[in-house]
Structure 1
């Protein structure tokens, strides 16, 4: 949808989750670049209105490695894990009924677009303030080094992606707004098998920060039987998938390092942007 047609979210004082869950959902347009049905909407509740994205389950395309009709739940589960970390890297997201049936509803983020998070550079070194991802084919005769910013916010997102097993961390799924960074489009997550595909490999093999270790310890506690996060995820994922989340957190704490590509699955999503 062109920017000129978007309805600004405005200033919201109501808890966004309450607004998204109980508000009147009105479809304003469709984001046609997406592979699944993605509808641009407004949601109004008790005199307040905000822009949001609504992805009905009925508009999901089948995937060979995920059960049909589960992508919306995975988006909500990614938000729940993000919320539990305290980093709040995923916009508020709920599961609710809408004009086209049950689906995911997420607060719209107006990205500023003025931060350089990814780049292609000549040569073999990323340069100060950047981390190398790998060589990228620019055209038939030229390659360049794909890099991402050496940014604490991106590093936190890399840890979150490792926990939720994100199979599709593209550049277009990174939104910078008001000094904050958000990750969106988390339907292809929480597979019980290793499916991590991301552009954020710059810290692969490096030690986790002390902050990340503390966050992972908190997740381990929240994911224990009877833990708050474990109960929320149990309503959205299978038992095997929830157990796989626990195992990924345990593995990260045991290694103390950012994961590296396994070599058993394409490490970079396509298209990367």
Structure 2
């Protein structure tokens, strides 16, 4: 059974609240037949109102997964929108087994073999206009794979890039990654576009065009485009 089928159709049982989350996030177990998995449930009902993002951050969580998949990068764990969650509509994302002591900073400093994956996350955040890439939003799974999570503050039409991943700034974007993003300059996948506003889709395409014209990872010359807390 695929992870997406399990997440979309499985019965959800609440296991606990993720206490450090700024919006309500809950650990759940999802069961369908003989299959089960842990997942993170983020209901719209538990969102704090924001002045620069409209309600419904779960749609952006799903959109980030779709973007990752259409690029073929596999950065974001399987994510669906569930209308029938215990607290109403929200996103449901497969839980990644990982060492909580590892995060972006420990990987960058102590695991140079992950740098290609981290560089890909840096470009992903530029395309998605991620306004909240904290160090703890980068995980290394128990299998060694590097993941990015928490994408509710992505895809704004206005430039809002805030991230801790500035170590690759000024580097040329690898040719293969430019090849991967190039189709988005003209067309966004319909399911992705359906989750965002028309201005947000147009802005995504414009960001891709700029990267193709000037294929260099950005540099934060202000020193202020960093989320808080860092983890």
TM-score (norm 2): 0.92
Whether 1:83 aligns to 2:48 is no
Cα shift at 1:113: 4.8
- The secondary structure found in structure 1 opposite 2:70 is helix
The structure that is helix-richer by fraction is 2
Give deviations 1:193-223, integer Å, cap 9, x for gaps: 1110111111212211112111112433552
Whether 1:111 aligns to 2:98 is yes
Q: How does 1:65-144 map to 2 (within 5 A)?
A: 65-67=52-54, 69-97=55-83, 98-113=85-100, 117-118=104-105
Partner of 1:232 in structure 2? 191
Give deviations 1:35-81, integer Å, cap 9, x for gaps: 111010011112200100000000000111111x2211011111110
RMSD after superposition: 2.0
Partner of 1:171 in structure 2? 135
Give deviations 1:80-128, integer Å, cap 9, x for gaps: 1011111110000011121110000000001135757415xxxxxxxxx
Distance 1:115 1:76 in 2: 25
Whether 1:42 aligns to 2:26 is no
Partner of 1:135 in structure 2? none
Partner of 2:166 in structure 1? 201
The answer for unaligned runs of 5 or more in structure 1 is: 1-13, 120-128, 131-146, 224-228
Which of 240, 247, 264 is the aligned partner of 2:206? 247
Whether 1:270 aligns to 2:228 is yes
Q: How does 1:156-167 map to 2 (within 5 A)?
A: 156-167=120-131
The structure that is strand-richer by fraction is 1
Pairs aligned (count): 227
TM-score (norm 1): 0.78
Distance 1:154 1:272 in 2: 16
Partner of 1:212 in structure 2? 177
Cα shift at 1:261: 2.6
Distance 1:221 1:23 in 2: 36
The 8 Å contact of residues 103 and 139 in structure 2, kept in 1 or not, is answered as no
The 8 Å contact of residues 103 and 138 in structure 2, kept in 1 or not, is answered as no
Distance 1:60 1:157 in 2: 25
Distance 1:116 1:34 in 2: 16
Partner of 1:57 in structure 2? 44
Which of 217, 221, 224 is the aligned partner of 1:258? 217
- The secondary structure found in structure 2 opposite 1:151 is helix
